[in-house]
Structure 1
Amino acid sequence: DNGVYSKLISVMGKKGQTRMAMWLFSEMKNSGCRPDASVYNALITAHLHTRDKAKALEKARGYFDKMKGMERCQPNVVTYNILLRAFAQSGKVGEVNALFKDLDISAVSPDVYTFNGVMDAYGKNGMIKEMESVLTRMRINECKPDIITFNLLIDAYGKKQEFEKMEQTFKSLMRSKEKPTLPTFNSMIINYGKARLRDKAEWVFKKMNDMSYTPSFITYECMIMMYGYSGSVSRAREIFEEVVESETVLKGSTLNAMLEVYCLNGLHMEADKLFHNASDFRVQPNASTYKLLYRAYTKADMKEHVQMLMKKMEKDGIVPNKRFFLEALEVFGSRLPGSGSENRKSTGSDRPQDSAKDLVESN
């Protein structure tokens, strides 16, 4: 059954088992089943999950051309969506434009996912002009933007600090039939915050509440970070305390946001105090907590704090990988406490011990 094979090929691809996906494809043909577009789409996706992106794109394009030569396997909108997004992610503007031209003369009609996928890829690459060209193409095809389209534009403009365009997009959203979502507001808050535009970020938060939206923990984390970027540490702490009082279980990411605010503003001792009192807030530090503190303490040349942090990591069962240790040794020019044969064993492999809760990446 083609549906079963396409699902199996897709699963193998997502797991990085491209050879197994190819074997399944061969077995399918040997068993007498004739592959259709869904099977080829799964095969293309499987190749795109490999590390060698250049080779993967070449393979994907090859399958696409092969599909066009088979009546039973003509590319469908899913095929185009997969390929367009993949080439956009790699910044291959020429290939994206060529695929769009091919799509224009085909019997396939693009949908909102076609354009959103490419815009998302371009936006994450900071390719604003290319993103805008896709929006123009979307309008030419009389495909109405949905909330995802608006959010992609707002986020991309915000990250590039093109706030006039971000605000115009938000106004267009408010005039449309679409309604903003929490990610709409969260993106504007954090991007205004990074630019230290506190008043505008606070306006967004007020607008959100006026429209009867309930802030999520992510919204509060954005507000905490916004005040941190603006140097308003006391206000960030107030928001943190409000979250602590309202949440039954505090999220580790919320703790990390407050810790990062302290570190950004040079208040490493306050960060250290909060870290050691984390249990009072019913939250357990995670791998990301240790990573951000390690970087902050190292940058501030707080050797004793790094040493204590490493001991706490070991106590909590979080085993740093080899590169983490090498960076620590390079910074301090000496071996860390307790770095006997046991630690040498742990640094000799990138794999954590069985008792480890997580693996702290070094970058």
Structure 2
Amino acid sequence: MFQLNTVTPFSINFKPTQFHLQNSPFTRISCISTRPKRKAGVKIDKSETEELVKTLLRNFNDKKPLVNVLDKYVKLIRTEHCFHLFEELGKRDKWLQCLEVFRWMQKQRWYVADNGVYSKLISVMGKKGQIRMAMWLFSEMRNSGCRPDTSVYNSLISAHLHSRDKSKALAKALGYFEKMKGIERCKPSIVTYNILLRAFAQARKVDQVNALFKDLEESIVSPDIYTYNGVMDAYGKNGMIREMESVLSQMKSNQIKPDAITFNLLIDSYGRRQAFEKMEQVYKSLLRSREKPTLPTFNSMITNYGKARLKDKAEAVFKKIYEMGYKPSYVTYESLITTYALCDCVSKAREIFDEMMDSKKEMHVSTLNAMLDAYCMNGLPAEADQLFEYAHKNGLLPNASTYKLLYKAYTKANMKELVQKLLKYMDNSGIVPNKKFFLDALGAFRSSRAGSESSRGATGATGATTQLIDKQKHSAKAT
């Protein structure tokens, strides 16, 4: 599948800005950057920072709190390390530990209240859906003597856009946007516009996107390649091809040339709509341009040809990867496995999977899931069960998605014994089904019961579904 974030166009600029707050006629509190200053002409090697952060992450666990590990390495840790630590903890869904690191930082002699630290933390909290915590950090920042700047508001807008109530989130984001216009140090930047334009395009709010583009034209800020790529990608993923093409025309009229990401998102968008003639035209234009195809280019084409069951074309793209000197990634192989599954070529899909297992390269659980799904969509639950056992024995451990797809398949096929066996595996692995898992299971059960003349298998599925209800209730009580 095409991915649009080799370089994230809408990432937040966390670079702290120096400014002063007059607290009283005699006292001045300064918010300054605590990051190490770079010497002219000297590049900072990030490897040392990354290595120290890896060491910190390896050394803390339930028995050894993170704060104790930080105290152990206190002589080495500085703000730059903490920034990287925030990012890594955020990726691991450990946002509470981010707050522990922040509190630990505040106790260090070298710490000075810094806008960049708050921007980073607000961003991490937003990505994890912790909107209240993001708002608390915003308030805490102001109490510490720092005044918000553009980067802080950008982080706050992004945080709100991660909330579940999208209409409310968009209204909040627009409110902050208008507020920023009235504060000299917080004027919207191109990053601000990019965040909002992408969000409204994803929400299919065409009028609001047009209004923001008009506002952008009247401001001193100029759109960049990320502005257009973000909006086109959002429109394309929503199947709004005409709107996407309109933005592309606007981009060209502003003399901004498409980059590799532009070509990739166009190829992916046309492929999703099975507009293969246009997709192939864009690919030919890419080959004629200064840009070069990337693996996401080929992965997207294989995926979309596969969905249309155009096996020969998908195979031709796979062959082209080698001809152009690229090496397929695990995503490429997964795309091909899914293509063969959709084209009733399960044996070929299994050949690819076995080759990957035999290659002794690092296997991803998503590859296992692709092969299991190939068996399940072709009505081969017993083969899926055998592969599941094989993966366990060979150290390729499943995740929640694995159990979800198998449970749906086994329930739909009324395979009572396989359902019971899977539930035991889930218990042993500590997997507790969430609400979405439960609803999907009910949906699979209803469809299987409606299509079955016998109630024997349905009774087994009912019992398994009841067990899911009990597990979910027990989990809710525990939390």
Is the Cα contact below 8 Å between 1:116 and 1:149 reproduced in 2?
A: yes
SS of the residue corresponding to residue 213 of structure 1 reads: coil
Give yes or no for the alignment of 1:335 onto 2:463.
Answer: yes
1:68 corresponds to which residue? 181
2:433 corresponds to which residue? 320
Cα separation, 1, equivalents of 2:225 and 2:244: 14
1:357 corresponds to which residue? none
2:455 corresponds to which residue? none
1:181 corresponds to which residue? 294
2:233 corresponds to which residue? 120
Cα separation, 2, equivalents of 1:32 and 1:51: 32
Cα separation, 2, equivalents of 1:324 and 1:4: 37
1:220-273 per-residue CA deviation (whole Å, 9 max, x = no partner) reads 111111111111122112212211211344322222211211122222222222
Is the Cα contact below 8 Å between 2:125 and 2:131 reproduced in 1?
A: yes
Which amino acid in 2 is paired with 1:65?
Answer: E
Give yes or no for the alignment of 1:261 onto 2:377.
Answer: no
1:347 corresponds to which residue? 472
Change (3 A) 1:64 1:318: closer
Q: 2:336 aligns with which of 223, 230, 237?
A: 223
Give yes or no for the alignment of 1:164 onto 2:277.
Answer: yes
2:360 corresponds to which residue? 247
Change (3 A) 1:250 1:74: closer
Q: What is the CA distance between 1:52 and its match in structure 2?
A: 1.8
Which amino acid in 2 is paired with 1:57?
Answer: L
Cα separation, 1, equivalents of 2:169 and 2:434: 30
Matches within 5 A, 1:183-222: 183-222=296-335
Change (3 A) 1:346 1:295: closer
2:154 corresponds to which residue? 41
SS of the residue corresponding to residue 348 of structure 1 reads: helix
Which amino acid in 1 is paired with 2:463?
Answer: R
- How well do the aligned residues superpose, as a CA RMSD in angstroms? 2.6
Mark the runs of 5 or more structure 2 residues left unpaired by the alignment: 1-30, 32-114, 450-457
1:289 corresponds to which residue? 402
Cα separation, 2, equivalents of 1:195 and 1:134: 27
Is the Cα contact below 8 Å between 1:225 and 1:236 reproduced in 2?
A: yes
Change (3 A) 1:16 1:162: same
Q: Which moved more, 1:43-52 or 1:319-328?
A: 319-328
SS of the residue corresponding to residue 161 of structure 1 reads: coil
2:454 corresponds to which residue? none
1:118-172 per-residue CA deviation (whole Å, 9 max, x = no partner) reads 1121122121111111111111111111111111111111111111111111111
Q: What is the CA distance between 1:280 and its match in structure 2?
A: 4.9
Mark the runs of 5 or more structure 1 residues left unpaired by the alignment: 355-363
Which amino acid in 1 is paired with 2:335?
Answer: C
Matches within 5 A, 1:269-280: 269-280=382-393
Cα separation, 2, equivalents of 1:90 and 1:176: 32
Which amino acid in 1 is paired with 2:243?
Answer: E
Q: What is the CA distance between 1:345 and its match in structure 2?
A: 6.0
SS of the residue corresponding to residue 463 of structure 2 reads: coil
Cα separation, 2, equivalents of 1:351 and 1:273: 33
1:130 corresponds to which residue? 243
Q: Which moved more, 1:18-27 or 1:263-272?
A: 18-27
Scaled by the length of structure 2, the TM-score of the pair is: 0.67
Q: 1:111 aligns with which of 212, 215, 224?
A: 224
Cα separation, 1, equivalents of 2:214 and 2:299: 36
Change (3 A) 1:108 1:297: same
1:359 corresponds to which residue? none
SS of the residue corresponding to residue 277 of structure 1 reads: helix
Cα separation, 1, equivalents of 2:171 and 2:424: 48
Cα separation, 2, equivalents of 1:51 and 1:338: 29
Q: 1:100 aligns with which of 192, 213, 219?
A: 213
Cα separation, 2, equivalents of 1:282 and 1:32: 52
Matches within 5 A, 1:294-305: 294-305=407-418
Scaled by the length of structure 1, the TM-score of the pair is: 0.87
Q: Which moved more, 1:282-291 or 1:25-34?
A: 25-34
Is the Cα contact below 8 Å between 2:438 and 2:469 reproduced in 1?
A: no
Instruction: Give the % identical residues.
Output: 66
Is the Cα contact below 8 Å between 1:225 and 1:257 reproduced in 2?
A: yes
Relative contact order: is structure 1 or structure 2 higher (C-alpha 8 Å, sep ≥ 6)? 2
Q: Which moved more, 1:179-188 or 1:319-328?
A: 319-328
2:49 corresponds to which residue? none
Q: What is the CA distance between 1:75 and its match in structure 2?
A: 1.4
Is the Cα contact below 8 Å between 1:262 and 1:268 reproduced in 2?
A: yes
SS of the residue corresponding to residue 319 of structure 1 reads: coil
Is the Cα contact below 8 Å between 1:322 and 1:348 reproduced in 2?
A: no
Which amino acid in 1 is paired with 2:259?
Answer: D
Is the Cα contact below 8 Å between 1:321 and 1:351 reproduced in 2?
A: no
Q: What is the CA distance between 1:78 and its match in structure 2?
A: 0.9
